[in-house]
Amino acid sequence: KQEVTQIPAALSVPEGENLVLNCSFTDSAIYNLQWFRQDPGKGLTSLLLIQSSQREQTSGRLNASLDKSSGRSTLYIAASQPGDSATYLCAVRRIGNKLVFGAGTILRVKS
Amino acid sequence: GAGVSQSPRYKVAKRGQDVALRCDPISGHVSLFWYQQALGQGPEFLTYFQNEAQLDKSGLPSDRFFAERPEGSVSTLKIQRTQQEDSAVYLCASSFQEGFQRTEAFFGQGTRLTVV
């Protein structure tokens, strides 16, 4: 059974700091991995999608990497801003087309 | 519409009442998914449609939960005889099938169900 773990569970950093969020998964038989952002009381916003054949994807200040063989992905956020405060979720797409999610990392960026 | 639309945004139901939650996916998206998110947890898979066919309903927690997508567009998740443990946010997602590697899921705002 695929399990997804996100570390840390919560993170508080001062504005301007670079930070890394971690995601690990137990079964490397995945099609892709997606990072999402969730604001309180809201749905999920897709940030980045990495196909299983890719190593990384970049969008603005965000960079996500994927090491499928070791079952790890990281989300790097450069020059963090208070507006980045949210819960960040990673999810892997496995056989059967369903997404399996981690519990998320709650990020707070202090001004 | 521009995104996945869910209604209602909030629903309060008395224990034992039946509820129906609606999802309007992005136009042209073949795949539609329902997820359940408990407080402080990641979303958990409930069921998956490709067009009007329900291909996977393995995540539905009991036979009180039923989903349909009769014309391959709008979907309804129905919960009969609601219980307090059904209180959660119900999220709908849709995707355009481009091959599993490139398939990206887009989520709606969710429906927060509270059973009292």
Q: Is B79 exposed, middle or buried (0-12, 13-18, 19+ CB in 10 A)?
A: buried
Cβ distance of B100 and A93 shorter than 8 Å:
yes
Q: Please state the rounded mean pLDDT for residues A57-65.
A: 97
Summarize pLDDT for B51-92 with one digit per residue, the tens: 999 999 999 999 999 999 999 999 999 999 999 999 999 999
- The verdict on A44 touching B (C-beta cutoff 8 Å) is yes
Q: Given a cut of 70, is residue A55 above it in pLDDT?
A: yes
Q: Between residues 58 and 87 of chain A, which touch chain B (CB distance below 8 Å)?
A: none
Pairing of strands B44-50, B31-37: antiparallel
The predicted structure's pLDDT at residue B1: 54
Model confidence band, residue A1 (pLDDT cutoffs 50, 70, 90): confident
C-alpha pair distances (Å), B91 with each of A26, A81, B7, B27: 25, 28, 10, 17
Summarize pLDDT for A24-49 with one digit per residue, the tens: 999 989 999 999 999 998 899 999 99
Cβ distance of B43 and A96 shorter than 8 Å:
no
Average pLDDT, chain A: 95
Beta carbons within 8 Å of B78's beta carbon, 6+ residues apart: B18, B19, B20, B21, B65, B66, B67, B68
To test the contact with chain A by mutation, choose from B7, B36, B41, B45 the residue with the greatest count of A C-beta atoms within 10 A, namely B45
Model confidence band, residue A70 (pLDDT cutoffs 50, 70, 90): very high
Average pLDDT, chain B: 94
